[in-house]
Amino acid sequence: MKDAQTGEALTPASLQRHLRSAVFGHRIFYYPTIGSTNDRALDLASAGEPEGALVLAEEQTGGRGRRQRTWESRASLGIYVSLVLRPGVPATQAPLFTFTAAVAVAEALRETCRLPGGIKWPNDVVVGRRKVAGILGETRGSHPRIREMVIGIGVNVNHASEDFAVDVRDRATSVRIESGECVDRAPILASILEGFERRYARVLAGKPAELLREWEALSVLPRGRRVAVGGPLGRCEGTVAGVDDEGALLLDTPGGGTTRVPFGEIVEAL
């Protein structure tokens, strides 16, 4: 069914009509409404669900963002999905998979909606200064290798400005706000899944260089930009010197050294 304000419903059937990936998104767990697709995908992964399974919801009542934030997930407006991964690589490489998702989302928005999306470290997908999509990567347990991981992806698609809470309105955007058009979500999700699968295979094959090059090309805060970063270790300021091969941000600091920041987020461009 097509609605003028929300486009075609995003269901397993509408997704399957556009799907081009070989594995990702072929086993779909669909919920008209759910607490958090990440919670459901973590449970499924613990119960042995194979790699590639997708949890898809039209609405989340407890959508979670990074750093204990909530992710607004109103019915029929966005893409709210979680993917089950079983990469089996050292846990230090986990950020590479959230990078993979961020690049796949930014490229899918370019390809399907001609939206000039970029990435703000580590994995916010932005248009200009406003966020259009977010990625939440989570693992359970503390093993040296990642036995199972969930990648949650939230994309703001057909939101009007007033669909966002007042306190995030000036920091959030959507495909509809940027393009002036209401669009169908299934082709966007199919493109994300195909792009994720292709890049994930390269990273798993021990070839992350191409992904890291793509990530840097999409980065909205390129080398040489002064930034402030917030994270578990507090605030830190410096000049962007790139990312290393595990996705950590490298910052040249005023004292003359280079600081490696594995987790956190850029809180300010200085």
Q: In which residue are the tokens 């990648």 written?
A: 151
Nearest to 44 by CA among 123, 133, 152: 152
Fill in the per-residue mask, 138 to 177: x = in contact with ligand BTN (CB under 6 A), - = not in contact.
Answer: --------------xxx-----------------------
Minimum CB separation of residue 64 from ligand BTN in Å reads 4
What is the number of alpha carbons within 13 Å of residue 163 lying toward its C-beta?
21
- Interacting residue with ligand BTN among 12, 65, 230, 242 (CB under 6 A): 65
CB 76 within 8 A of CB 59: yes
260 near ligand BTN (CB under 6 A): no
- Interacting residue with ligand BTN among 15, 94, 115, 136 (CB under 6 A): 136
- Interacting residue with ligand BTN among 52, 54, 64, 104 (CB under 6 A): 64
* Tokens, residue 57: 């919801």
* Segment interacting with ligand BTN, rule: CB under 6 A, options 31-39, 182-190, 219-227, 248-256: 31-39
Parallel/antiparallel/unpaired status of strands 258-261 and 249-252: antiparallel
66 near ligand BTN (CB under 6 A): yes
CB 31 within 8 A of CB 40: yes
128 Cβ neighbours under 8 A, 6+ residues apart: 173
Binding residues for ligand BTN (CB under 6 A)? 36-38, 60, 63-66, 69, 71, 73, 80-82, 124, 134-136, 152-154
